[in-house]
Amino acid sequence: MKLLLVILFSYLLGSIPFSHIFARLKGKDVRAAGTKNVGATNALVVAGPLIGALALMGDVLKGCCAVGLARYFSMPDIGIALAALAVVAGHDFSIFLGFKGGKGVAATGGVLFALDPVFAILVIFLWILCMVVIRYFIPSTILVLCFLPVMMWMASWRAEYVFFGAANALLAVYTHRNDLKRYFAGQELTIQESLKRYRGSR
> What does the pLDDT look like over 166-176, one tens digit per residue?
999 999 999 99
35 confidence band (pLDDT: 50, 70, 90): confident
Q: What percent of the chain has pLDDT over 70?
A: 97
pLDDT at residue number 187: 85
Dist. CA 67–CA 61, nearest whole Å: 10
pLDDT at residue number 114: 98
Instruction: Pick 84 or 30 by higher pLDDT.
Output: 84
Q: How many domains are contained in the chain? A: 1
48 confidence band (pLDDT: 50, 70, 90): confident
Instruction: Pick 27 or 194 by higher pLDDT.
Output: 27
Q: Which domain holds residue 25?
A: 2-201
Dist. CA 123–CA 42, nearest whole Å: 22
pLDDT tens-digit readout, 53-73: 999 999 999 999 999 999 999
- What pTM did the predictor assign? 0.93
Q: What percent of the chain has pLDDT over 90?
A: 77
pLDDT at residue number 34: 77
Kindly report which listed range (37-51, 130-144, 156-170) carries the lowest average pLDDT score: 37-51
CA distances from 101 to 31, 49, 130, 136, 178 (A): 9, 20, 25, 22, 14
Q: What angle do CA 108, 111, 114 make, to 5 degrees?
A: 150
pLDDT at residue number 189: 81
194 confidence band (pLDDT: 50, 70, 90): confident
What long-range pairs does 166-171 form, CB within 8 A, spacing at least 24?
167/85, 168/84, 168/85, 168/88, 168/104, 168/108, 169/145, 171/85, 171/88, 171/89, 171/92, 171/104
Q: What is the mean pLDDT of the chain?
A: 93
198 confidence band (pLDDT: 50, 70, 90): low
75 confidence band (pLDDT: 50, 70, 90): very high
